[in-house]
Amino acid sequence: MHIAILTFDGYNELDSLIALGVLNRAGLRASIASPAPRVRSMNGVTIDATTTLAEACKADAVIIGSGISTREVVEDASIMEALRGLDPDRRLLAAQCSGTLVLAALGLLADVPACTDLTTKPWVVAAGTKVLNQPFFARGNIATAGGCLASTYLATWIIARLSGLEAAEEAMRYVAPVGEKEEYVARALGNVTPYLEPALR
Amino acid sequence: MHIAILTFDGYNELDSLIALGVLNRAGLRASIASPAPRVRSMNGVTIDATTTLAEACKADAVIIGSGISTREVVEDASIMEALRGLDPDRRLLAAQCSGTLVLAALGLLADVPACTDLTTKPWVVAAGTKVLNQPFFARGNIATAGGCLASTYLATWIIARLSGLEAAEEAMRYVAPVGEKEEYVARALGNVTPYLEPALR
């Protein structure tokens, strides 16, 4: 299984790397997919991409990360062209915070309400998507989350869908604070399970 | 204000980069301090260091990150020599998960109980430190946290100490999931404020 995390210049470290850590904990290979070999975060952290946008379009699941330049990303014809292959019938698609704007720009949220952060919300609304006042929502193969730390819910959803609910619980239990593990697991599952197919709940 | 986050090869992304994101949200400059110009995480994410261990020893606060190679770090004489300048009388010192082993190896936890993750716990105990079954503990200028996501508590403590409790609340509110912001702020403050001086609570 391969999960690609789309990460652009100006990326938010929390939004790309929390999910990466939790997914890897579940034994799912999560990679950083970028338009360039190296990308620099909104706070100056430069990381190497480990895969390309073209490879990302073949992954089992794709997370669209967030950052301060997402409005430029959706205006960049070469990037958006590279992402046309993100067909949700063939993979899971998850967007974090301003990543939701990319899903909207790809026309994938026309009939699906979505979550995003409070700063991005007006732009997602302007793109014609209904924004929910909650941390996580999924319908079918498309999920969105709002607020950096809700990235744990995107990871929980992807693990539950690809490896089962027990694997998702175990990964969240591992990364949760000592002494608060059951509380964190319960909150993550509480956010995600209502949106899993009945067979997975 | 400068906060250095000590990040070694084999680092855990959550343990270095969650704190970095939250601290920067509060306007505190958080940098990645490593023994080499580039370090690779336990999951293959290579990042550029933005400062050196020598500069880290002059920072206003230092977070010792975690990873899969911390036992090698504390056996590395050149690294440990470079960290001798980490005097807690002159700065805040915070350790995340296996980072606690570095504080113990520096002799800074002889009379201070500490938090760490469940995997590192036996090693910290063997180093002569009492390990607590809780996510966060601080005494004076030294704080420790256990479990990756408890890194938000280390960040909350540093912001509270350097910029005040209101700034810490605001940063945590920003990064928390939409619809769960007050719950996340309350939990972070609930973990940290008992260990702040009365004047800061």
Asked if the Cβ–Cβ distance from A177 to B153 is below 8 Å, we say yes
Question: What was the ipTM of the complex prediction?
Answer: 0.96
Interior/surface letters A126-145, b for 16+ CB within 10 angstroms, e for the rest? ebebebbebbbbbeebbbbb
Q: What pTM value is reported for the model? A: 0.97
Structure tokens, A187:
């909150």
C-beta separation of B31 from B60 below 8 A: no
In order along its 201 residues, chain B shows pLDDT tens digits of: 999 999 999 999 999 999 999 999 999 999 999 999 999 999 999 999 999 999 999 999 999 999 999 999 999 999 999 999 899 999 999 999 999 999 999 999 999 999 999 999 999 999 999 999 999 999 999 999 999 999 999 999 999 999 999 999 999 999 999 999 999 999 999 999 999 977 676
CA distance A17 to A176: 15
Is B65 touching A (CB cutoff 8 A)? Answer: no
Domain regions of chain B by residue span: 2-200
Is B46 touching A (CB cutoff 8 A)? Answer: yes
CA distance A40 to B148: 23
With beta carbons under 8 A apart, name residues in chain A contacting B22: 14
In order along its 201 residues, chain A shows pLDDT tens digits of: 999 999 999 999 999 999 999 999 999 999 999 999 999 999 999 999 999 999 999 999 999 999 999 999 999 999 999 999 899 999 999 999 999 999 999 999 999 999 999 999 999 999 999 999 999 999 999 999 999 999 999 999 999 999 999 999 999 999 999 999 999 999 999 999 999 977 676
CA distance B70 to B74: 6
CA distance B72 to B9: 10
Is A192 touching B (CB cutoff 8 A)? Answer: no
Asked if the Cβ–Cβ distance from B136 to A17 is below 8 Å, we say no
For residue A2, the cross-strand partners are A29
Asked if the Cβ–Cβ distance from B150 to A12 is below 8 Å, we say no
Coil, helix or strand at residue B67: strand
Is A100 touching B (CB cutoff 8 A)? Answer: no
Cα-based angle B85, B87, B90 (whole degrees, multiple of 5): 120
CATH number for B2-200: choose from 2.40.10.10, 3.40.50.280, 3.40.50.880, 3.40.50.2000: 3.40.50.880
